[in-house]
Amino acid sequence: MQTQIETLFDNKPASYAAAERELFQQFLLALNEGRVRAAEPDPGAATGWRVNAWVKKGILLGFRMGANIDMSVGSLAFRDKDTYRTKAIAAENNIRIVPGGSSVRDGVYLGKNVTCMPPMYINVGAYVDDGTMVDSHALVGSCAQVGRNCHISAASQIGGVLEPVGALPVVIEDDVLIGGNCGVYEGTVVKSRAVLGTGTILNRSTPVYDLVRETIHRATDDAPLVVPEGAVVIAGSRAITHGPGKEWGISVYTPVIVKYRDAKTDTRIQLEDLLR
């Protein structure tokens, strides 16, 4: 499949034949079942993850191949590519899509016992593993990878990335709590058991100041920002030390690691099984 997808992506035909559309449908099925992923764990990589660029090419191929059609439901008007309808949710995995305006696009993997609270949106290529809750007004972007037993709290944004195809999408590993109104963007990797406090923003431009280990975590030209395992990150500020900013008493936003997860943290953020 990889060779066929890459060949079709690199050699755009004048029109797409039935066999090529069938290839895309098989690719979409593999995405839905989690057999192929835009990124996957790789212990040999510096971030612990590697990009599968060919999978992102396959997703982009679906946009190129698709025709813009009417997808309206009753009085609700929708138009989108015919290659990307809403995901069919089977009963056997106990997935909950609570009524109220949520949408999961086709080509998304949802693990067992995932809960989606309205209104939220999960875009094509995303991977959301077992037991995770995506809360109200939250977004899981294209190709984002979210692990087991995470909580993506209300109004949080988990950015993804389709282009460039070689770029790592945002990765949220197992047992991570993303607080309300957080934003994780530009290929940031949040390692397992980390906690992001309300309003924390992470991207390639925001170094994270680690008060516990007395170090600064930064993205580089070759690697994204990586938040360490078990880190508890909150939104902080850093004073400008020169120029008009100093004279005017201005500070700039910066995320700060104030502690590493312990038993007290676990008690405060324990997920409630009854909600699942």
C-alpha to C-alpha distance for 78 and 106, rounded to whole angstroms: 15
pLDDT of residue 273: 67
165-201 confidence digits (pLDDT tens): 989 999 999 999 999 999 999 999 999 999 999 999 9
pTM of the model as a whole: 0.95
pLDDT of residue 274: 62
Cβ 27 vs Cβ 5: under 8 Å: yes
Enumerate the β-bridge partners of residue 197. none
pLDDT of residue 142: 97
Choices 3.40.640.10, 3.40.50.20, 2.160.10.10, 3.40.50.720: CATH for 2-67+94-268: 2.160.10.10
State which H helix or E strand residue 231 sits in: strand 231-239
Identify the CA nearest to 168 among candidates 151, 190, 139: 190
pLDDT of residue 115: 97
The token pair that represents 41 in the structure block: 């764990």
C-alpha to C-alpha distance for 54 and 52, rounded to whole angstroms: 5
pLDDT of residue 265: 82
C-alpha to C-alpha distance for 33 and 136, rounded to whole angstroms: 25
C-alpha to C-alpha distance for 147 and 152, rounded to whole angstroms: 11
DSSP conformational letter for 112: T
253-272 confidence digits (pLDDT tens): 999 999 999 988 888 787 66
Amino acid 166 reads: G
pLDDT of residue 266: 82
138-173 confidence digits (pLDDT tens): 999 999 999 999 999 999 999 999 988 989 999 999
Q: Which residues contact 147 (CB under 8 A, 6 or more apart)?
A: 129, 132, 172, 173, 174, 175, 176, 192
Cβ 167 vs Cβ 55: under 8 Å: no
71-106 confidence digits (pLDDT tens): 998 898 999 999 999 999 999 999 999 999 999 999
Handedness of CA 257, 261, 265, 270 (dihedral sign): positive
SS3 of residue 232 by DSSP: strand
231-260 confidence digits (pLDDT tens): 999 999 999 999 999 999 999 999 999 999
Q: Average pLDDT in the 112-141 region?
A: 98
pLDDT of residue 267: 81
Domain map (residue ranges) of the chain: 2-67+94-268
Distances (CA, A) of 107 to 150, 159, 270: 20, 17, 31
Per-residue pLDDT at 275 exceeds 80: no
Identify the CA nearest to 30 among candidates 41, 43, 16, 40: 40
Distances (CA, A) of 38 to 93, 138, 174, 201: 22, 21, 17, 23
